[in-house]
């Protein structure tokens, strides 16, 4: 039995207790959250989000790459979100390596260098600012009146804004 | 007062009740979930995940692009996950448009055609299979013994495996 099988048993319980009915496709709170994939960062618990409230976009680091810009353009243009919340966090794996070392280690094992930038970063607050700036400079995201960046502290559960 | 400000008030309550202490960086359940950003799809509620359990990677459609492959490579190689769960869902926004139409509408408004593929898809189950295959064919993801794809039914709360 895999962990996936165990989680599927949880999904059956979720379906058995499901009482939300058909919620609308556009997010009720008109917010898109972009966050790191980190296991300790739970955007639902942290921000008090319920089913139907917000788009949640996540990747390694919570960094803004072309795919986040694509998702945000779709979120705003087709589904009406107007605010963006970016969340990095303390003790992030992306602080523990460099793109060059990671890609070189893969090349040594696989024989091919990955085509993507790994997007590791040495400075947490500065990378939040970098991500905010990538959003603000993107020509395909139409609404930029509320684009704010935060660091989630995994040790304390606190969310701190980066100015 | 923005919605972001309201959610920040929720975050203060979360921090006030935070009792998890410093959880380990690697996900306890060694699972990475790749899901659509859709507001109605809550991977924590659905799969019974708690803080510390699993990486959660999300974008528009839950499709596998270069950024998901980057995140999965980091998840497995640096943080020890070994199973992958892919989740698309019914009533997805990605079923409602075509890449060409969306990108042309942006070009007409902004004057530039976006450099990314929008990744819209006309067939839900087939796109889950497409995503699974993109993972299985990627040379940089080392562990592929449990890569399974699902459709979450937003109407019923049910999770259905795609074979």
Contact A14 B102 (CB under 8 A): no
Query: A92: how many CB neighbours lie within 10 A of its CB?
Result: 22
pLDDT at site A21 = 87
Asked if the model's pLDDT at residue A9 lies above 90, the reply is yes
Annotated binding site of A for Zn(2+): 36, 38, 89, 92
pLDDT band at B84 (very low <50, low <70, confident <90, very high): very high
- 3-state class of A77 per DSSP? helix
Sole residue written with tokens 């099988």: A5
Cβ-nearest to A71 among B17, B60, B110: B60
Over residues A107-148, the pLDDT tens digits come to 999 999 999 999 999 999 999 999 999 999 999 999 999 999
pLDDT band at A91 (very low <50, low <70, confident <90, very high): very high
Chain A, chain B: beta-carbon pairs less than 8 Å apart: 259
- 3-state class of A65 per DSSP? coil
User: Closest Cα partner for B140 from A36, A102, A39?
Assistant: A102
Report yes or no for ipTM above 0.90.
yes
pLDDT (average), residues B2-30: 96
Asked if the model's pLDDT at residue B22 lies above 90, the reply is no
Contact B4 A45 (CB under 8 A): no
User: Closest Cα partner for B52 from B81, B77, B91?
Assistant: B81
CA B79 to CA A40: how far, in whole Å?
13
Asked if the model's pLDDT at residue B137 lies above 90, the reply is yes
Annotated binding site of A: 36, 38, 89, 92
pLDDT at site A121 = 96
Residue B125 parent element (H or E): helix B124-137
The alpha carbon of residue A79 is apart from the nearest alpha carbon of chain B, in Å, by: 8
Cβ-nearest to B46 among A11, A119, A146: A11
pLDDT (average), residues A16-40: 96
Residue A30 parent element (H or E): none
B127 labeled part of a ligand binding site: no
pLDDT (average), residues B42-58: 98
pLDDT band at A150 (very low <50, low <70, confident <90, very high): very high
A49 touching chain B per CB within 8 A: yes
Q: Domains plus CATH for chain B?
A: 23-162 (3.40.1050.10)
B88 labeled part of a ligand binding site: no
Cβ-nearest to B25 among A78, A83, A93: A93
pLDDT at site A143 = 98
Asked if the model's pLDDT at residue A8 lies above 90, the reply is yes
Cβ-nearest to B39 among A48, A55, A69: A55
Q: Are A10 and A121 in contact (CB under 8 A)?
A: no
A 102-121 residues with CB < 8 A to B: 102, 105-106, 110, 112, 114-119
pLDDT at site A157 = 97
pLDDT band at A22 (very low <50, low <70, confident <90, very high): confident
Contacts of A4 (CB under 8 A, 6+ apart): B31, B83, B85, B146, B148
């Amino acid at each position: 039995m895999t962990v996936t099988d165990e989680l599927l048993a949880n999904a059956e319980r979720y379906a058995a207790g499901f009482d939300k009915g058909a919620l609308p496709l556009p997010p009720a709170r008109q917010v898109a959250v972009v966050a790191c994939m980190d296991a300790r960062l739970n955007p639902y618990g942290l921000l008090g989000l319920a089913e139907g409230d917000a788009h949640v976009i996540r990747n390694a680091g919570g960094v803004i790459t072309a795919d986040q810009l694509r998702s945000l353009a779709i979120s705003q243009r087709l589904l009406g979100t107007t605010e963006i919340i970016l969340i990095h966090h303390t003790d992030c794996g992306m602080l523990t390596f460099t793109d060059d070392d990671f890609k070189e280690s893969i090349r040594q094992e696989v024989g091919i260098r990955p085509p993507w930038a790994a997007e590791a970063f040495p400075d947490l607050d500065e990378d939040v600012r970098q991500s905010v700036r990538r959003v603000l400079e993107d020509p395909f995201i139409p609404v930029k009146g509320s684009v704010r960046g935060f660091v989630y502290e995994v040790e304390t559960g606190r969310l701190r804004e980066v100015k």
